[in-house]
């Protein structure tokens, strides 16, 4: 009996109110058939890592569950949603468990059931249902880990192998293309080399399956070792001028990168980015690559490029408008259709009552506004800027947002026509919109590319305060010396469920109670007092969200978070001539940039004169303090031009 068949039998012991279907190939696909059959995926390797964490930190895990104020049952093995949700949140202190922790926060019972079934299946235990016993006791977990097959191949269902092999091959081919190889080399590696390898491992009885069907962490690495020891493989590889070995090596490299994807993800504390830099640095391409990471087979699915026109002066250019020709009807836009696609992905259980359980596995949907400041942003983007601040996840994880397109516009525009235009015929999501309007979906990330020259408009502090501004040349510098070798790997941005900072979000960071971060911003704000650049509560909330999202584990990394906050949220607000930047401290009039430099030198002692971690890229060495470099550039510009700003 394979794992899928075991789950089918085990489900008979569960409540029929929320049936769960589990299918397996290289991942478990959890289908909640109660509300539309939405599927969520988790790699078996991630579950093994979770079980190891549960075994090693078992006492702490039990305390998290039983000490929760909502826990009422006899013991921790009796499932209750709120205590178990707190337990999965506790797991997030281990970065390797980000996927499990995320699913545990939104699909709490579903992921608990899958893990419990796997424990029972592998350890040979009876599965009674998680309400009776989750099997999260240390003895059961240790038994499951002791008997866990090294390759996990006997968890796979026969029906899933071919489809999964085909998918792995397609992603490998795309990866080779992205690496810049010729079509001839791609075919040699993905077809010829892998076919010869499959022939040998199957003839020798090493594996019965194609290498494309094996789990990366276990089987493929052992297959590579066994191939290297085989005389026939060595002879064929030599006759092929090393091409066969090169193909398998490329596939292993591809799998290792696939395996580390979740570790390279960075939850954004703000869903609105400004990418500022000179033309030709790759800002638009960067956004497209961010989208492709999540779905390389359909890069347009979660990416929408909108070139901004200089004549845009109102939100209808982006969101549409009511036409009263003939009879009132709403004219939808490409942007509005894209927003609906994002909603469909993240809220598959939406109804008139609310969004339902959000799909935390939904990829970010990237809306790229190219040359964003060719038109006045405060005018054509006014609705988004206002509604952005109303996004909120409450303590129960429910999402609320004021509408971009309100009920009046929907009800005056010919409902059936707009419903059909947006692909929402017979879709419960339309019922949600009819009650709440169309708001900003939580998985929508907006990125504007910015080039400051004589053809563009500046940004007011209203825009800057709501955005995360990246000086692209500083965060993602173009290194000519690395042109052929490739630039350092960038972190992959993901949407976050954090909108309002709370102390418990910081418990796993180096600033567990947030006091050091509050003190840091207070010192900075003392310099900015009684100037147009003074900071308010929004800035403090967003800095605490920075810490919660980036999860610094030591003093140097915490200071790096503060440094990046200065670069993305504080320094972009500062501009002016010598008079505007002159502040009075005590009885002395000093330059604001000089005073800010002196203050930061004391606040960032571990990174000011040395190196700091790069939180946005994977680099071998550290990088210099970003805000120090930017302040020096701004001061030099003030001296030479008598005016300065953040913008390159």
What are the pLDDT digits (tens) for 28-48? 444 444 444 445 667 677 788
What is the model's pLDDT at position 14?
64
N- to C-terminal Cα separation, the chain: 63
What is the model's pLDDT at position 28?
44
**Residue reference for tokens 């009996």:** 1
Structure tokens at 555: 């003093």
> How many other C-beta atoms lie within 10 A of the C-beta of residue 284?
17
What is the model's pLDDT at position 213?
65
Supply the CATH classification number for the domain 266-499: 3.40.50.300
Cα dihedral 551/555/556/561 (nearest 10): 40
Look at the chain and count its residues.
Answer: 648
Asked whether 40 and 361 are in contact (CB, 8 A), the reply is: yes
Separation between Cα atoms, residue 17 and residue 11, nearest integer Å: 11
Per-residue buried b or exposed e for 397-413, using 16+ beta carbons within 10 Å of the residue's own CB = eebebbbbbeeebbeeb
Q: How far is CA 405 from CA 196, 318, 319, 412, 419, in A?
A: 57, 11, 8, 12, 13
Separation between Cα atoms, residue 175 and residue 159, nearest integer Å: 26
Read off the pTM: 0.63
Asked whether 250 and 189 are in contact (CB, 8 A), the reply is: yes
What is the model's pLDDT at position 207?
59
Low pLDDT (below 50) residues in the chain:
25-38, 151, 153-154, 156-164, 215-219
Asked whether 444 and 368 are in contact (CB, 8 A), the reply is: no
Q: How many CA atoms lie within 13 A of 418 on its CB side?
A: 26
Q: What is the largest CA-CA distance in the chain?
A: 87
What is the model's pLDDT at position 157?
37
What is the model's pLDDT at position 420?
84
What is the model's pLDDT at position 527?
93
Q: Which helix (H) or strand (E) holds 152?
A: none
Q: How far is CA 116 from the centre of its chain?
A: 27
Separation between Cα atoms, residue 278 and residue 472, nearest integer Å: 8
Separation between Cα atoms, residue 349 and residue 358, nearest integer Å: 7
Asked whether 456 and 376 are in contact (CB, 8 A), the reply is: no
DSSP code, position 126: P
């Amino acid at each position: 009996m394979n794992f899928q068949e075991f789950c089918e039998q085990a489900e008979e012991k569960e409540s029929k109110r929320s049936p769960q279907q589990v299918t397996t190939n290289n991942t478990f696909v959890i289908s909640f058939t109660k509300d539309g059959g939405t599927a969520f995926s988790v790699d078996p390797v991630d579950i093994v890592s979770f079980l190891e964490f549960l075994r090693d930190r078992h006492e702490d895990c039990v305390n998290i569950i039983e000490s929760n104020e909502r826990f009422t049952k006899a013991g921790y093995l009796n499932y209750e949603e709120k205590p178990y949700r707190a337990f999965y949140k506790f797991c997030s202190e281990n970065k390797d468990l980000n996927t499990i922790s995320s699913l545990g926060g939104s699909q709490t019972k579903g992921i608990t059931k899958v893990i419990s079934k796997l424990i029972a299946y592998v350890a040979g235990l009876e599965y009674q249902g998680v309400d009776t016993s989750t099997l999260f006791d240390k003895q059961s977990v240790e038994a499951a880990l002791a008997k866990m097959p090294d390759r996990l191949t006997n968890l796979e269902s026969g029906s899933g192998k071919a489809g999964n092999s085909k998918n792995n091959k397609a992603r490998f081919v795309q990866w080779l293309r992205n690496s810049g190889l010729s079509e001839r080399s791609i075919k040699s590696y993905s077809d010829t080399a892998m076919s010869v390898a499959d022939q040998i491992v199957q003839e020798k009885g090493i594996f019965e399956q194609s290498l494309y069907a094996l789990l990366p962490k276990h089987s493929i690495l052992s297959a590579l070792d066994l191939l290297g020891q085989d005389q026939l493989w060595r002879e064929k590889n030599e006759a092929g001028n090393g091409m066969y070995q090169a193909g398998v090596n490329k596939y292993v490299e591809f799998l290792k990168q696939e395996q580390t994807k979740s570790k390279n993800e960075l939850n954004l504390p703000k869903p609105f980015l400004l990418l500022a830099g000179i033309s030709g640095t790759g800002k638009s391409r960067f956004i497209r690559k961010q989208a492709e990471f999540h779905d390389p087979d359909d890069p347009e699915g979660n990416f929408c490029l909108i070139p901004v026109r200089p004549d845009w002066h109102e939100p209808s250019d982006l969101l549409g408008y009511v036409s009263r020709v003939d009879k009132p009807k709403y004219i939808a836009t490409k942007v509005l259709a894209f927003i609906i696609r994002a909603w469909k992905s993240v809220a598959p259980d939406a109804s008139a009552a609310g969004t339902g359980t959000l799909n935390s596995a939904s990829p970010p949907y990237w809306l790229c506004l190219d040359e964003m400041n060719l038109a006045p942003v405060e005018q054509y983007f006014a609705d988004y800027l206002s509604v952005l601040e109303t996004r909120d996840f409450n303590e129960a994880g429910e999402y609320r947002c004021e509408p971009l397109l309100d009920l009046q516009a929907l009800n005056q525009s010919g409902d059936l026509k707009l419903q059909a235009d947006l692909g929402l015929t017979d879709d419960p999501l339309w019922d949600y919109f009819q009650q709440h309007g169309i708001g900003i979906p939580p998985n929508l990330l907006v990125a504007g590319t910015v080039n400051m020259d004589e053809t563009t408009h500046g940004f007011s502090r209203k825009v800057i305060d709501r955005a995360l501004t990246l000086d692209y040349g500083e965060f993602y510098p173009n290194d000519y010396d690395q042109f052929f070798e490739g630039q350092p790997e960038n972190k992959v941005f993901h949407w976050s469920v954090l909108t309002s900072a709370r102390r418990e979000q910081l418990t796993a960071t180096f600033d567990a109670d947030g006091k050091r971060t509050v003190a840091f911003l207070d010192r900075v704000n003392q310099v900015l007092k009684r100037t147009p650049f003074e900071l308010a509560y929004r800035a403090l909330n967003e800095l605490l969200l920075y810490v919660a999202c980036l999860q610094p584990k030591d003093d140097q990394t915490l200071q790096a978070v503060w440094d990046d906050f200065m670069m993305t949220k504080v320094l972009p607000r500062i501009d002016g001539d010598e008079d505007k930047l002159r502040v009075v401290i005590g009885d002395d009039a000093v330059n604001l940039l000089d005073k800010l430099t002196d203050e930061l030198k004391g606040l960032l002692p571990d990174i000011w004169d040395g190196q700091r971690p790069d939180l946005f890229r994977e680099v071998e060495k550290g990088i210099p303090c970003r805000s120090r470099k930017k302040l020096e550039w701004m001061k030099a510009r003030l001296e030479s031009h008598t005016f300065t700003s953040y913008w390159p």
